[in-house]
Amino acid sequence: MDQPIHPFSELFAQLGLPADETAIRQFIASHSPLRNDIELADAPFWTDSQAAFLREEKLDDADWAEQVDQLNLALRG
């Protein structure tokens, strides 16, 4: 059974953030570049629940892992 694929914008909605294209671009612009020595989930702009979600999805290679990786790359650029 294939894992469902979520659009990048749905990750923002899952994190409780505005998920329209403009808001996503603004979020990435205002939080980039994230230093290489900081793990994505440890960035200071996440709430505890957001950080836990990001950490769990990566550790479990779960349903959202690909979008979490995409977000990580977007914030490093």
Give me the long-range contacts of 32-40 (CB less than 8 A, separation at least 24).
32/74, 32/75, 32/76, 32/77, 33/75, 33/76, 33/77, 34/72, 34/75, 34/76, 36/76, 40/68, 40/71, 40/72, 40/75
Q: Kindly tell me the burial class for residue 16, based on how many C-beta atoms sit within 10 Å of its own C-beta (0-12, 13-18, 19 or more).
A: exposed
For the entire predicted model, the pTM comes to: 0.89
Q: What is the pLDDT of residues 12-53, one digit of tens each?
A: 999 999 999 999 999 999 999 999 999 999 999 999 999 999
Domain spans of the chain, in order of start: 8-76
Take residue 11 and report the two structure tokens written for it. Answer: 């990750």
CATH superfamily of the 8-76 domain: Uncharacterised protein PF10982, DUF2789 (1.10.10.1130)
Residue 2 has what pLDDT? 53
